[in-house]
Structure formats: structure tokens, C-alpha cells
Structure 1
Amino acid sequence: MSSDSNSCEPQNTETWEIPHISGRSLPINLQANDCLFIVGPNGAGKSALIQYLVPKEEERSNFRRISAHRYSAIDPATLDVSAQRREDIGQQNIEHERYPDAQWRDYNSHFLAATALFDLVAKESSRARTLAGYLPHELEEAARQALKTRAPFGQLNELLSHGTLSITLELSVKGLVQAKQRASRDTYNVAQMSDGERNAAIIGATVLTVDPGTVLLIDEPERHLHRSIIVPFLSALFAQRSDCIFIVSTHELALPAAIPEAKVLTVRSCAWTNNQVSAWDIDLLEPNVGIPEDVRLSILGSRQKILFVEGEPTGLDLPIYHALFPGISVEARGSRDDVIRAVKGVRGSQELHHVEAFGLIDNDGMGEDNIASLSEDGVFALDDYSVESLYYSNASLDALARRQAETLGEEDPQNLKCSALQAALCELRRENGLAQKMAAKRSVLSVRNKIESQIPGREAIQCNEHPTIEVSIESPYQEELSKFKRHLDASEFDELVARYPLRHSHAFDAIARKLKFRSKADYQSALVTRIQSCDSLAEKLRGRIGKLTCALRDPL
């Protein structure tokens, strides 16, 4: 391996020459903000390849590995680490990473959590000292710096929220790192976190605190994190450290699919010499190139169904659909058209694989004919307007009101829910022009869908002798306005959230406040967590997308 510099300063470019079983070498060049996924079946040599990428030069210290076999339990006795001990462990890790057995053995593994948390506290303290050092007349500059350099604990907690984890970490007045459920005021020892929470926190703290220019080697993160967590969590984490290089070995194909700008190194097999892997059968795929079907099938095994949904990996769609369909691989594909293309692409090549694709899109006021036509191709529309109708449905509000009442012990859950609904309805009534805005947004989509349904096909255009093409549509605006006002006057919130884009109002914020959440993001994260633990709630919400649920349950 080589780079553009041999100094200990952050490297601009990293270059490897990887031995190929054909006898040639495959060059790989990565720069800051690049991500490389290494995918392949078990036994293909992925972990050995990760070990090969670690530099052998003693002066190179800008590499950090997070191993699949890492020890994740937190021993409270190891959390009190001195600065000197932390420095010693860091130097030892740099040396140990070069050992041949490092691909299966962790040195200093019991101190993994302690060093990650030590670095997080150190970075938080350094930021606080910098801001405190400003003189009174420099407060404006201090405020600018505070906005420019976000608090590390705040960054980590935001990442955990992206991963649909309901936990936060905070620094106590005594300088101890404590864990806390988002909906609770009570803190507890970080050693009591669940396995998934611990690993997400350790990975997040490690990545957030490394120096710029660091190459991060992450080996099979799905061993410790559920795929409903790993895709949004790592996608958000990579975005936080655009000054680093990420190399991730994984079986989870949803990861490279969620980051289309990443490169993918497919590993089919490897060759051995003297009990060590000496070469690999590999191919490098540039960004936006699909993974070859033979590699995909060797990895997926019995996972036969995949669900494409709208939105981005860090949006609302992916977490809730992961929770509702835990046995299905779920991928976010952007717009409605992107979802339709993805489903048609997979279904159009079924003779090459045994994966069946489905799509779920927002209703957005589509006509019945269009919905029926898409469902024949495996793409289903929500019965309601958008995914928010699931997050803020009557069943969801019931479940979280009960949970908050039990957790906080403050009041009757029905009163808590009624208070939240009344606050949301008050927001809808108070905002000037909101009814008109909601009716207009709904009408625009309805008109657009009707126009698209009336666009003549190629043959009709060729046969048309008239110079103009006319499309006549009655405006639905007045009818929509009347419907909105009627539902609002009747306090029918469930009907309103099912039909209109209430995300453009403050109704959801009001619900979160009245249910004692800090923000609507915390409310949404808590709902996903509740779905994962409450089968009755999950079944009620799946009932709102019944046709898709039935299709996914049908045997192939």
C-alpha cells in the first residue's frame, strides 16, 4: 500500500495494489469523503482483505479498525481511564493492528468502550474550554464557533436517533458518561445498555473522535446491529465525517444500495499460500453500478423478498417499514419513480435470481386506476396520503400515550392522548391560511395525476390530425377545502392526517410536546421502538397498508 505522503499528517489519497488470483494487481484509490464497501459470501476472504489494507509502516497511525469480533460488553471497572493509560492503549492498538492475527483477535478489547468514551469526553471538554476562553466582548464570535463546531454528545445522540435507538448519552456534572431513555429523566450506567445500543454508541463515538484524514475499517457491522438500525445509522455517520475514508466489509446489501455514490469491491473467493490469504477473486464497481447477481445471490441466500420505499436513508420511511416488516430487506430509493423503476428492474430479470421485489409509495392523491395498475406490477400505494399517517395515526397515539403514562407515571393515558390531539387541532385552527394551503397542495397532486392519466400514448398522438391536444379537468380545490374544514370542525384528526400533508403545519410538534417528548423526532423514534416490541400495534399499522402486507405474506 502507498499514499501521496509518508508523514504522520492526514493523507489526501490512499492507494492499494490488491493481488488478484489472475496474477495481476487491482489498484484502488480513495480520498476523504470516499466510501468503499467490500461485499461477498462467508469464506470469500473479506476479513483477510481488511487486514491486508492495514499499513505495515510503523509511522502510519491514521488507520482505525472496528472489528466484527470485537468485545462489546462494558466493564464498569475499565471506564475510569487516565490520560496516560489512554495514550498507552492507543499506541498498543496501532502496533497490534499490524499483527497477522488481528483479523480474528482483539487486543485490549476490554478497554474498547472506555477509550471510545474517553475520547468523546475529551473532545466535548476541549470544545467547552475553547468556547469558555472567549472574552466578554467576543461573545458573538463564541456563538459563531458554537454553531460551527457541534457538541460531540449532541452529534452522537442525533446519530443514535437516526438508527431508531431511543437512548441518549450525556455527561454528568461529575464528569461521568450516563445513558438515558429519550422519554425519561432517569439516567443509568452505560454498562446497562443493550448490546445494540452499546455497539452503536461505541462505533459512533469512535468515528466522531478520530482525526481528519483517518481511514476507518469497519468489519461486518451487521453482526452487532440489526439491519433496521445499521442502514440509517451508518449512512448518517458517514455524512458526519466527510473528512475521513470509510471501508466497510458487509453482507448487508442494503448498505451500498443506500449510498449509491460509494464504490463496491465484490469478493468471490480467495487463494491461500503458506496458511495465509495471498490473492483474491475481486472486481471493483464504480458508484451507481449494480452488484453482480452471482454475488448478490451468494450473499442473500434465503432472503427472497425486498421492499423498496420512498425517501432517503435518514428519512421517516425506512425506520418504520423496517420495524413493520422485520423479515424483509427494506431499501429507500428516493422518489416514487425511483421506487417503480427499482421494482420493475428486479422483477424484469427474475430468471437470473430468486429475489422478488415490492414497492411502497405515498398515495399523494393518486387515482384508483393508477393505484390498481401499479399494484399489478408489485408497487403498492398507501391508503393514506403519506407515511406520516402511520406515525400519527390513532393507534400510534394510543400506544405512545400509554407508554408515556407508564414511564412517567403522571396521568391517565387517555387524558394524555386527548390533550395531544386538542393541541394539534388548535395548531391547525390557529394558523392563518392553513386550510387553503392544505387544500391547494392536495389539489395540485390530484390535478397532476389526472393530467398524467389523460396524456395520450405514442400511437394516439400519431393518429391525431388536430394540431392541439386538449386535457380538460375540473378543479378539485373547493371540494378539498370543504373537506378539510369539515374534518377540522368535527375534530377528526385521523382523517386529516390521512388525507393532507400536515407536516407543513405545527401539529406534529404540538403532539410531541403534549406527550412529553422533547421533539417530534424523539416521538417518531419512540414509535419505531414501540412497534418493534408491540405486535398488536405493528399489526394495526400493517392493516393500513393491507394489500402490500398480504402480498408480502403470500408464499412465492
Structure 2
Amino acid sequence: MSFSFTIPIEEPTGTLQLTVNTGQMLFILGANGTGKSSLMQLFTSAGSEKTRRITAHRQTWFRSGSPEFTGTQRAEYGQNMFHHDQQVNSRWKDDYSGQRAQVAIYDLINSENMRAREITRAVDAKKIGEVDRLSTKEGAFLILNRLLRLANLDIIVSVEANDEIMASRSGSKRYSIARLSDGERNAILIAANVLTVPAKTLLLIDEPERHLHRSIVSPLLSLLLKERPDCAFNRIHA
């Protein structure tokens, strides 16, 4: 699957055609004030619901490490954020910053729960072959922890009682991810968005280095791309 965009320019043809295929990453580089975020907003407004935007000015803190809304509310927020991101003022303003952070938590936990339910149904039906097949697929938290470790972040996260995501470092006592550093929370937010989007999604990632050191963001995004060859990526850098 591919995503194509027509971008207006002055010369020589008046338009520029850009295409990003699944499994491909497109980089957009430029100094401050050259219109990178405006271009990202154009991509978003021209995209379909198969587009997920991760903005540079996103909120990186959590009120708690647990989801704060139901599945129905999650669906409503998804629609609201999609329509908001298509508006011109979304380039500099985000009316759903808090909800985006909570959506990432919800989707991460929901992905893990869906896998557990599939395995449980196969066990109840005594479909041993299906159990073996499902168990070979890594769960969201196992993948996330592996990527965090390879991206030079020495933390392990897990979902505990009351669907709260907890973290630990070097075998320490577990604590809420709300207490992680800005960079650690940001890495989890980016990874949760990428790991849980549907297949054939175009991910628009605006200046991921704003909250992460290059020694972390570079391997993290490279690993996420390898993890999701069924998606396309568009990254903007200052």
C-alpha cells in the first residue's frame, strides 16, 4: 500500500508529488521556520483515518499509569483527534494533548489484553496448535521492553493490577510510569503509538528528537520501523 500527496509549490510545475510506501521511511529536514510543521499538517489534512500523527508539541506526562476512559470513549476520542488534526490550527495547538497520552496507554494495555483473550479462547477450546501459534507472537509489553533496552533505556514496564502500567529499573521496586523522566515517558508514548496502530497506517512523526537524546531516538525509531514493516513513516527533523 502507498500514500500519495500533492504539494503546491511555486516553480517549475506548481505541484510536487510525494509517495510513501509501506515499509518505507521518508525524512523531511529543514531549519526552523522553513514550513516543516505546515507540511506535516498538510499531510495530515490530506490523509485518511489510516493516518496517525505524533506531534512535536505533544504532552509527555501522564495523570496516572492507568487508562482513564472506556472503550467507547476511546473510539470517540479517536474520531475527535482525527478531525482536530485536519484543522489548520492543529499545527501549533493541540486540544487533545492529555487524551493522546491516555489513548497511548489504553491502546498498549488493550493490545496485551486482546492477545491474552485469544490465547484463553484457544485453551478453552483445547486447540493446542492454535495456542502454540499464538504464543510465538510477542506481546506488546515484551516487544516494548526489548526495544527500550536496545534503545539504551534501562527500564522495564509491565501491566499490573487495575490495568496500571508500572516501571522498574535494574530490579528496583516497581513504580508508576507517571514518575518516569520526560525522555522515558516520551519513548514509551512513541513506541506505544507505533506498536498498536492498525496495519497499513501512515505515521507522521514531528521532531521526535525534541524530547529524546539522539543516542535514544535514532535506534528507537529504526527498531520501530523494523517492527512495523506493514506501516509507512514520515519523519520531520529540525
Q: Does TM-score exceed 0.5, indicating one fold?
A: yes
The one-letter code sitting in structure 2 at the alignment partner of 1:172 is E
SS at match of 2:56: coil
How far apart are 1:78 and its partner, in Å? 7.7
Please tell me whether residue 69 in structure 1 is matched to residue 57 in structure 2: yes
Aligned to 1:95: 83
- Distance (Å, rounded) in 2 between the aligned partners of 1:214 and 1:31: 10
Alpha-carbon distance, 1:144 to partner:
1.9
Match of 2:219 among 232, 241, 249: 232
Alignment of 1:116-265 (within 5 A): 116-135=104-123, 137-147=126-136, 149-181=137-169, 183-251=170-238
Residue 29 in 1 paired to residue 19 in 2?
Answer: yes
- How far the C-alpha of 1:23 sits from its partner, in A, is 4.5
CA distance, structure 1, for counterparts of residue 210 and residue 5 of structure 2: 27
SS of the residue corresponding to residue 27 of structure 1 reads strand
What stretches of structure 2 of length at least 5 have no aligned partner? none
Q: What is the root-mean-square deviation of aligned Cα atoms in Å? A: 1.6
Alpha-carbon separation, structure 2, partners of 1:159 and 1:205: 11
Does the alignment pair 1:46 with 2:33? no
Aligned-partner Cα distance in 2 for 1:140–1:52: 47
* Structure 1: 4+ residue segments shifted above 4 A: none
SS at match of 2:144: helix
Task: Note the residue ranges of structure 1 that are not aligned, 5 or more in a row.
Answer: 1-11, 252-556
1:169 & 1:204 partners in 2: Cα distance?
12
Distance 1:47 1:93 in 2: 17
The 2-side partners of 1:140 and 1:169 are apart by 30
Distance 1:78 1:124, change over 3 A: closer
Q: Does structure 2 retain, via aligned residues, the 8 Å contact 1:50–1:219?
A: yes
The whole-number CA distance in structure 1 between the counterparts of 2:70 and 2:92 is 28
CA distance in 2, matches of 1:185, 1:144: 33
The one-letter amino acid of 1:220's match is: E
In the TM superposition, residue 140 of structure 1 has moved relative to its aligned partner by: 3.2
| Cα contact 1:71–1:106 (8 A) shared by 2 | no
User: Is the CA contact 1:78–1:111 (under 8 Å) kept in the aligned structure 2?
Assistant: no
Question: Any conservation in 2 of the 1:72–1:112 contact (CA below 8 Å)?
Answer: no
Is the contact made by 1:170 and 1:179 (CA closer than 8 Å) also made in structure 2?
Answer: yes
SS in 2 for 1:242: coil
For the Cα contact (< 8 Å) 1:16–1:27, is it kept in 2? yes
Work out the CA distance in 2 between the residues paired with 1:76 and 1:196: 17
| Compared CA separation, residues 129 and 79, structure 1 to 2 (3 A) | closer
Alignment partners' CA distance in 2, 1:237 and 1:39 = 20
Distance 1:143 1:91, change over 3 A: same
What per-residue deviation string (whole Å, max 9, x for no partner) do you get for residues 413-462 of structure 1?
xxxxxxxxxxxxxxxxxxxxxxxxxxxxxxxxxxxxxxxxxxxxxxxxxx
For residues 440-459 of structure 1, the aligned pairs below 5 Å read none
Give me the whole-angstrom Cα distance separating, in 1, the residues matched to 2:37 and 2:195. 23
Equivalent residues of 2:65, 2:165 under 8 A apart: no
What amino acid is the match of 2:92?
Answer: W
Conserved in 2, the CA contact under 8 Å of 1:78 and 1:110? no
- For CA contacts below 8 A with separation 6 or more, give which structure has more relative contact order: 2
Structure 1 or 2, whichever has the larger Rg, is 1
Q: What do the CA deviations read for 1:335-366 (whole angstroms, capped 9, x no partner)?
A: xxxxxxxxxxxxxxxxxxxxxxxxxxxxxxxx
Identity of aligned residues (%): 35
Confirm or deny: 8 A CA contact 2:20 2:232 kept in the other structure: yes
Shift of 1:18: 1.4
State how far apart, in whole Å, the 1-side matches of 2:168 and 2:122 are. 32
Change in 2 beyond 3 A, CA 1:137/1:110? closer
Secondary structure of 1:235 counterpart: helix
Aligned runs of 1:65-464 on 2, under 5 Å? 65-76=53-64, 79-135=67-123, 137-147=126-136, 149-181=137-169, 183-251=170-238
TM-score, normalising length: structure 2? 0.94
SS in 2 for 1:239: helix
Deviations 1:303-331 (A, max 9, x none): xxxxxxxxxxxxxxxxxxxxxxxxxxxxx
Q: 1:107 to 1:77 in 2, by over 3 A?
A: farther
Shift of 1:158: 1.0
**Structure-to-structure mapping, 1:449-528, within 5 angstroms:** none
